[in-house]
Amino acid sequence: MKSIVTLLITATLAHAQARAPEGQHRELVASVILAESGGHGRKGMEAVYEVIHARASVRKTTCAAEVLRRKQFSCLNGIKPSALVQRMKQHAHWRWVHDDLLKWVPITAHTGNNPFNRCRHYHAVSITPYWAKGKRPYATFGGHKWYNNVK
């Protein structure tokens, strides 16, 4: 009986999560990850993907739709997505992010173990945006503070 319940819960979670991006959407999401955290190592890039994926899962959208939401990712402020993709394809970690990291839904847990309570917000440690005032970060690493308590 316990095995059946575990199987049902696992199937429900897997079904409810957003899919890994494909095609041009994968290029766009890879570009945002690199522009946001390409200089902070694999952990930082994995965490940005966790945030994008968590937002898409909770809102029942796609990873590409989440990175294209207005003013959500500063790397897209004032630049066309296609221009960002072309620039980021030159990044040293492009192949790893595009070909390996984005092949699957996030399996890392830098921003929380529960895929429905992972961090969905982050910011550079050098600033404090209005939405972070009075909030305690879940974690701080890679030059960023990560939050799972922002609505």
Q: Could you report the per-residue pLDDT of 108-121, keeping only the tens digit for each?
A: 777 776 655 688 99
Q: Is the pLDDT of residue 3 over 70?
A: no
pLDDT at position 61 is 95
pLDDT at position 126 is 94
Q: How far apart are CA 103 and CA 122, in angstroms?
A: 23
| Residue showing tokens 């790397």 | 75
DSSP track, 80-99: -HHHHHHHHTTSTTHHIIII
Q: How confident is the model at residue 106 (pLDDT cuts 50, 70, 90)?
A: confident
pTM, whole model, 2 decimals? 0.82
Q: What are phi and psi of 66, to 5 degrees?
A: -70, -40
Query: Among residues of the chain, what percentage have pLDDT more than 90?
Result: 66
Q: How far apart are CA 149 and CA 89, in angstroms?
A: 33
